[in-house]
Amino acid sequence: MEREGAMILQQRQVIFLFILLGVSGAASELEQFSVVEEMERGSFVANVAKGLGLDAQELSNRGVRVAFKGNKEYLQLHPKTGDLFLREKLDREDLCGSIEPCVLPFQILLENPFQIIRAELIVEDINDHSPAFLDNEMILKIPENTFPGSVFVLENAQDLDVGSNSLQDYKISPNSHFHSQIQDSSKGRIYPELVLNKALDREELSEILLILTAVDGGVPPRSGSAQVRVIIVDINDNAPIFIQSQYEVQISENISVGSKVVTVSATDLDIGNYGEISYTFLHASENIRKTFHLKEKLGELYLKEKVDFESIQSYTINIQATDGGGLSGECTVIVQVMDLNDNPPELTMSSLTSPIPENSPEIVFAVFSVSDLDSGENGRMVCSIQDDLPFSLKPSVENYYTLVTEGALDRERRAEYNITITVMDLGSPRLKTEHNITIWISDINDNPPVFTQTTYKLYLQENNSPALHIGSVSAKDRDSGINAKVTYSLLPPENGDLPLFSYISINSDNGHLYALRSLDYETIQVFQFTVTATDGGSPSLSSQALVQVVVQDMNDNSPFVLYPLQNGTTPCNDLVPRTAEPGYLVTKVVAVDRDWGQNSWLSYQLLKATDPGLFTVWAHNGEVRTARPISDRDAIKQRLLVLVKDNGQPPLSTAATLNVLLVDGFSEPYMQFPDAPKEPIQTDSLTTYLVISLASVSFLFLVSVIMVIAIRLWKRKRDATDAAHFNPNGPFPSHLVDVSGTGTLSQSYQYEVCLTTGSGTSEFKFLKPIIPTLPPAEGNGKDSHFSSQVLRNYFGTLCC
């Protein structure tokens, strides 16, 4: 272009020259003027007059002017002086661009004569432009592994000025990595280049900012700059590196599945894919893979399965971190499982003896061992049993314990022991195990049977049926089984008098007592014997109890009339003087009853009489008295039938017959009877008969009295301990009389009887009662009153 431009310019000059020659033919000189660009308008350029050889007058006469091609008037000519001035400000770059030198041709025209003079205005350059880059920033990407010495071409800058004012040099801002150099192109242009001084490391410095400055050659020089951004491109030159080469974590045994154990972390200085890390197990065992889960991207280690200190205490896990470029690093994670007290102690019973015999000294009856899977304090144990047991727990070798009795045991006090063995570890929280054992104590025959009572008192109605169950004895034995099996037996009586085995039998199994035969109260009132209870132990033990059998009375005896005699051979005639007043005591019916108590209480009544109105019988005492005065009409012989009845249920009775003779005053023999037998010869048959009767009655009476006294004496002794079934102070029926103190005739009275024989006639009479001092316990006014009355009545009767 430039070349073309220059040729066109030359052609023009040639043509212009041609025209010039053709017009004048004489104009051959060339006037040259120069002006510096950017001069102000009106600036003086030169004076043309001197160059033309004309003076100022001549010049103005000839009419001088300048002509530029294309009517561009850059200059103005002063016609009088011939001075040239700038008509406008000239910009060389605008007019000529990069053409050097910048020439503006024009003509100086003279008239009269017409003359054309060629002239040139040369515009000289000044340094009015700075070098400039097209872009403010250049981006240069350099891989980090580029070798030092490598050259990188940069964009060049441009400077519109020419010549020495044009671009001369490039400079790069000071830095350690690069320096700049200048490359000339064939056209004389220069280009900047960057040269790498030393190896780059993106991880150290990923980007470098440089300033490239272009400088021209003007005075003073001008410059322009642009930024060079050097981006260092990553290559995978770094392996991942773990922050810690070893991680140690402790996890509790009860950590739940899914918990995070640890996060491992590696870094890679590279970026992008080269810096992307994934974590994997390295050489991990099956067990580790089963127990842990590693999140590949995050490096988080999770628990996949429960851990158990008792099986594995620690895990060593190798973890590899790999980046996208295949480089890797490793670390080790040591997971320590912390023991928790999660296992209760265990107890193993090695031997147990039960039952253990009572009364035996210290014996070992149980051996057991304890264990705990935990370790440390969690595995230390203490062992105990209840405090209130007669057993002690003794440690033996190596976690073995024995249970020992502390002394003799008594089965009868406690036959069964529940022992709770408590094993507790010392962990936190404490765990314990309980083991219950039951120990039985076996029996030894160490307790005799014991009767429920020491003395048994059994009551039996007389006239019982044979084999009657009359009562039971019972004994208990605190032992058990055969040792407590009691059998009963009767002990033979010591004195052998009592035919015990014919009276009583005992059921050896249950202690029931039976009366073997009918018993008669009147024969035996009470007897006692000993029963033995024997247990079945070996040797057996026994004990004894006394059994007293009391025979109770029944009303089985009728009253027995002692007087008058009733078998009729010698009827007793009572004599009554006809002069007797009403209420005269004729006689007294005397009767006894062999029964006892109420059954022996008697009452009397007149059943039948020859003359019922004449006599009365006193119900209480059997006294027969006259009821009215006796008249002469009354028969001499009176017969009375008196009924004697006891108080039993049902009552029994006996009738007694009395013969009473009514006499006209006592005849001699009768009246003088107490006096001396003055006339024994006169004793007639009647008298003899009477005396004999009296003697026999008296004798009988005496025998009866003695017998009765004997019986009463014996009975008293018994009643001292037994008055239960009769209370003498109880209500006493008023129509009855107690012929004895508490039964039949009282033994408290003895009668002095005098039997005299004189004049061939035997006679006796009661002299006086001997009343002994009564025993204080029986000092009973009623008793003695009755008794003495009875006695008095006897007197009255017998002195007939």
Which residues of this protein are in contact with ligand NAG, per CB under 6 A? 252, 254, 256, 340, 416, 418, 420, 434, 436, 438, 565, 567, 569, 700
Q: How are strands ordered across the β-sheet holding 190-196?
A: 151-153, 190-196, 178-184
Q: How far is the CB of 690 from ligand NAG (least distance, A)?
A: 16
Residue 8 phi/psi, 5-degree rounding, is: -55, -45
Q: Which two tokens stand for residue 227?
A: 């930024």
Q: How far is the CB of 380 from ligand NAG (least distance, A)?
A: 17
Q: Which two tokens stand for residue 528?
A: 């006692």
- Distance of alpha carbon 181 from alpha carbon 196, whole angstroms: 11
Q: Which two tokens stand for residue 161?
A: 């000025």
What does the DSSP assignment read for 530-545? EEEEEESSSS--EEEE
Measured in whole angstroms, the distance separating CA 327 from the mean position of its chain's CA atoms is 61
Q: How far is the CB of 527 from ligand NAG (least distance, A)?
A: 30
Beta carbons within 10 angstroms of residue 534's beta carbon? 20
Query: CB of 13 within 8 A of CB of 100?
Result: no
Pick between residue 545 and residue 697 the one whose CB is nearest to ligand NAG: 697
**Which one-letter DSSP state was computed for residue 1?**
-
Q: How far is the CB of 300 from ligand NAG (least distance, A)?
A: 19
- Distance of alpha carbon 443 from alpha carbon 312, whole angstroms: 54
Distances from the Cα of 309 to the Cαs of 332, 343, 425, in angstroms?
A: 20, 11, 17
- Output the CA angle 702-705-709, nearest 5 degrees: 140
Pick between residue 278 and residue 744 the one whose CB is nearest to ligand NAG: 744
- Distance of alpha carbon 319 from alpha carbon 288, whole angstroms: 11
Pick between residue 247 and residue 563 the one whose CB is nearest to ligand NAG: 563
Pick between residue 414 and residue 608 the one whose CB is nearest to ligand NAG: 414
Pick between residue 253 and residue 323 the one whose CB is nearest to ligand NAG: 253
Q: How far is the CB of 744 from ligand NAG (least distance, A)?
A: 17
Q: Which residues of 495-505 are buried (b: 16+ CB within 10 A; e: fewer)?
A: eeebebeebbe
Q: How far is the CB of 340 from ligand NAG (least distance, A)?
A: 6
What does the DSSP assignment read for 468-509? EEEEE--EE-SS-GGGG-EEEEEEPPSSS-S-HHHHEEE-TT
- Distance of alpha carbon 355 from alpha carbon 442, whole angstroms: 6
Q: How far is the CB of 757 from ligand NAG (least distance, A)?
A: 21
**Which one-letter DSSP state was computed for residue 71?**
G
Pick between residue 258 and residue 326 the one whose CB is nearest to ligand NAG: 258
Detail the DSSP E strand segments found in 223-263: 223-233, 241-242, 246-252, 260-263
Pick between residue 436 and residue 649 the one whose CB is nearest to ligand NAG: 436
Pick between residue 557 and residue 616 the one whose CB is nearest to ligand NAG: 557
Composition of the chain by helix, strand, coil, percent to 5: 15, 40, 45
Q: How far is the CB of 433 from ligand NAG (least distance, A)?
A: 8
Pick between residue 164 and residue 420 the one whose CB is nearest to ligand NAG: 420
Q: How far is the CB of 446 from ligand NAG (least distance, A)?
A: 21
Q: How far is the CB of 410 from ligand NAG (least distance, A)?
A: 14
Residue nearest to ligand NAG (CB): 567
Detail the DSSP E strand segments found in 372-522: 381-384, 391-395, 400-405, 416-425, 432-442, 450-451, 455-461, 468-472, 475-476, 486-491, 504-506, 512-515
Residue 787 phi/psi, 5-degree rounding, is: -65, -45
Q: How far is the CB of 698 from ligand NAG (least distance, A)?
A: 12
Give the containing element (helix H, strand E) for 785.
helix 781-798
Relative to beta strand 391-395, strand 364-371 is: unpaired
Phi-psi region of 622 (alpha: psi -120 to 50; beta: other; left: phi over 0): left
- Distance of alpha carbon 159 from alpha carbon 136, whole angstroms: 15
Pick between residue 112 and residue 569 the one whose CB is nearest to ligand NAG: 569
CA count, 13 A, side-chain hemisphere, 312 = 14
Q: Which two tokens stand for residue 112?
A: 């009269």
Q: How far is the CB of 604 from ligand NAG (least distance, A)?
A: 20
Pick between residue 158 and residue 422 the one whose CB is nearest to ligand NAG: 422
- Output the CA angle 44-45-48, nearest 5 degrees: 110
Pick between residue 377 and residue 434 the one whose CB is nearest to ligand NAG: 434
Torsion of CA 159, 161, 163, 164, to 10 degrees: -80
Q: How far is the CB of 562 from ligand NAG (least distance, A)?
A: 9
Q: How far is the CB of 738 from ligand NAG (least distance, A)?
A: 24
Beta carbons within 10 angstroms of residue 730's beta carbon? 7
Q: How far is the CB of 386 from ligand NAG (least distance, A)?
A: 9
Pick between residue 214 and residue 565 the one whose CB is nearest to ligand NAG: 565
Pick between residue 704 and residue 784 the one whose CB is nearest to ligand NAG: 704
Q: How far is the CB of 713 from ligand NAG (least distance, A)?
A: 23
Q: How far is the CB of 374 from ligand NAG (least distance, A)?
A: 12
Pick between residue 195 and residue 373 the one whose CB is nearest to ligand NAG: 373
Pick between residue 538 and residue 569 the one whose CB is nearest to ligand NAG: 569
Distances from the Cα of 419 to the Cαs of 117, 386, 394, 424, in angstroms?
A: 151, 7, 14, 16
CA count, 13 A, side-chain hemisphere, 420 = 8
Q: How far is the CB of 201 from ligand NAG (least distance, A)?
A: 49
- Distance of alpha carbon 580 from alpha carbon 615, whole angstroms: 12
Pick between residue 548 and residue 570 the one whose CB is nearest to ligand NAG: 570
Pick between residue 389 and residue 753 the one whose CB is nearest to ligand NAG: 389
